[in-house]
Structure 1
Amino acid sequence: MLDILLAGGWAMVPILICSAVALAIVLERCWTLRRKAVLPPGLGEEVRAWARRGQLDPAHLQALAEGSPLGQLLAAALSVRNRPREEIKERIEDTGRHVVHRMERYLTTLGTIALIGPLLGLLGTVIGLIRMFMQVMAGGMADPTRMAGGIGEALICTASGLVVAIPAYVLHRYFRAKVDGYCVEMEQQATLLLDELTAAAPAAPRSRRAAGQEAG
């Protein structure tokens, strides 16, 4: 295997660097985007129970925000629970954008590697072919071994670029879809909490109007 990589020439260096970076990103995202780390089971119901019982002291909110992306989103809603519904919703949306940005960390780099992998392979192919033609121009067709070396370098670079790019592209799409699914579920939990926090809000204006009519 080492001999094959060395036969690919110096164009293999950026391809190998891209493969190492892609592997590191995949391992890190697999760990970070575990379901129980993003959407802890039962957290939404537990937080809604806190809201009903009034257990919303700063210590609870701090622990909630630091525990998971879903917890951070719910903690943001609870931190402005006494404001109107629209303001709570705006805070959820603002926090949600930051949470999604963190969940998508490094995915742009992974997508870039998937894009440039074949291009690096093509660059190595072109360099190998140029090297072969230069050797032919210098020594004629008398030494087929040199020609075979240039062709081998070209083919190895092409294959290596595709081997790096194809898994990177597939995993990039997989992680994107995973984040999108998490966003939908987090939005559902945030909406349920928002309804819980604002359930009694419409009752207050009606009671004041009724009191005014009675006074009149």
Structure 2
Amino acid sequence: MKIEGAVLEILMSGGWLMVPIIACSIVSLAIIGERFWSLNSEKILPRELVSSVWSLHKANQLDNSKVRSLSNSSPLGRVLAAGIINQSHGREIMRESIEEVGRQVAHELERYLNSLGTIASITPLLGLLGTVIGMINVFAAITANGVGDPTVLAGGISQALITTASGMSVAIPSLMFYRYFRGKVDELVIKMESEALKLVEMMHGERE
């Protein structure tokens, strides 16, 4: 309880700017957790999906119901289904369909990442604003009471340091995970398009 009370006291010493900083930290944690769950490679790129689709194609079992089921199964399935639907229109049309749906899927995989990037950008600024407000309070105290009593200045200095440290503590991990998830999305999109184009080449006899 003593530790919790000390932490609460420190947070309260940071002033009202701690409220948006804490809110940003909660939102950031929620986004990071959700993206870890959603950007699971096995969910997005199921193993052996291309080979199973190819087996169905060779057996002439890729009817409309199976293509719809494929489209709803995973992001990769959605990209593959886009190509299969247009297989009668030739290789180039299949490629264009795959690329178009791939861009849509990529946009969906990037969900909430802009918000995470925004948090990484604004929390240091909130901390800096807290620093400025804290220093204003320090100079106001100096003007009113002089510099003889250090305790008069402690409140403003404490606010300046706490908000700065809090803002950076939220911004650093948010930026790290933002970069990580952006890289992961790019990697997943490249793999999806590669798997889909592999299927196109197999359907047109250009690959075994």
Normalising by structure 2, report the TM-score: 0.92
Greater shift after overlay, 49-58 or 93-102? 49-58
Runs of 4+ in 1 over 4 A off after TM superposition: none
- Partner residue in 1 for 2:151: 145
Q: Which amino acid aligns with 2:164?
A: T
Distance 1:42 1:160 in 2: 46
Greater shift after overlay, 159-168 or 185-194? 185-194
- Partner residue in 2 for 1:34: 40
- Partner residue in 1 for 2:60: 54
Q: How does 1:1-216 map to 2 (within 5 A)?
A: 1-199=7-205
Distance 1:81 1:55 in 2: 14
Once superposed, what is the RMSD of the aligned Cα atoms? 1.2
After superposition, the C-alpha distances for 1:106-162 in whole angstroms (9 at most, x for unaligned) are 111111111111111101110111111112212222432120111010000000011
Distance 1:34 1:123 in 2: 38
Shift of 1:199: 2.1
Aligned-pair identity in percent equals: 49
Shift of 1:6: 0.5
Q: Which amino acid aligns with 1:113?
A: I
Distance 1:16 1:63 in 2: 43
Aligned length in residues: 200
CA contact (8 A) 2:99 2:193 kept: no
Distance 2:8 2:64 in 1: 57
Distance 2:129 2:73 in 1: 46
Q: Which amino acid aligns with 1:104?
A: E
Distance 1:48 1:128 in 2: 66
Shift of 1:19: 0.6
Unaligned 5+ runs, structure 1: 201-216
* Higher-Rg member (1/2): 1
SS of residue paired to 1:82: helix
Distance 2:152 2:203 in 1: 76
Distance 2:84 2:116 in 1: 35
Shift of 1:176: 1.0
Shift of 1:43: 0.8
- Partner residue in 1 for 2:4: none
